[in-house]
Amino acid sequence: MVFFKSDYEIMSGEFADVKINEASDYDLIGEAVY
């Protein structure tokens, strides 16, 4: 879950948008768990 956020922060671009779109649920769970 952590790597997902890291990837998003590192990319900080279109790829990030896609990652968030695909990892929307993961992001929510990750934030909740984290």
Residue 13 pLDDT: 62
Residue 8's pLDDT is 54
pLDDT given for residue 1 in this prediction: 47
Would you state the pLDDT for residue 29?
60
Handedness of CA 15, 18, 23, 27 (dihedral sign): positive
Structure tokens at 29: 């769970």
Provide the whole-model pTM. 0.18
pLDDT at res. 14: 59
SS3 assignment, position 21: helix
Residues of the chain falling short of pLDDT 50: 1, 34
Helix 24-33 and helix 14-22: axis angle, to 10°? Answer: 80
Residue 25 is predicted with a pLDDT of: 61
What residue segments make up the domains of the chain, in order of their start?
2-33
Give the separation between CA 28 and CA 34, rounded to whole angstroms: 10
